[in-house]
């Protein structure tokens, strides 16, 4: 069993480039550009089931988020210091 698992749907990967895809276009172009990546909202909404062999639990999004932040910090990366380009 791996120490960490990152479930990532194809639609989720496309959302990160959306601001670049929309640059230079008119507002009327937005719906067709978004439709072009064929977003699947249900496949980006995931749950993680943890099974330690003895008991099973569903991890909340806050638990998963906090685990990710702690994992980066253990590797010397502070997620709060990463600059995100504004839309």
pLDDT tens-digit map of 53-76: 777 777 777 787 788 788 888 888
Work out the percent of the chain whose per-residue pLDDT is above 70. Answer: 69
| Residue 47, pLDDT score | 61
Report the C-alpha gap between 9 and 6 in whole angstroms. 10
User: Tokens standing for 79?
Assistant: 């997620």
Whether 87 is covered by a domain: the verdict is no
3-state SS assignment for residue 63: helix
Structural domain that includes position 32: 10-77
Annotate 5-58 with DSSP letters as a single string: -----HHHHHHTTHHHHHTT--GGGHHHHHHHT---HHHH---EEEE-SS-EEE
Q: How many CA atoms lie within 13 A of 49 on its CB side?
A: 4
| Residue 62, pLDDT score | 79
Whether 86 is covered by a domain: the verdict is no
Number of separate domains in the chain: 1
């Amino acid at each position: 069993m791996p120490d960490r698992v990152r479930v990532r749907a194809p639609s989720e990967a496309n959302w990160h480039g959306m601001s670049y895809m929309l640059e230079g276009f008119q507002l009327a172009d937005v719906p067709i550009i978004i439709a072009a990546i064929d977003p699947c909202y249900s496949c980006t909404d995931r749950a993680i089931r943890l099974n330690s062999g003895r008991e099973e639990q569903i991890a909340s999004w806050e638990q998963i988020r906090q685990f990710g932040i702690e994992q980066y910090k253990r590797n010397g990366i502070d997620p709060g210091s990463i600059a995100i380009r504004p839309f």
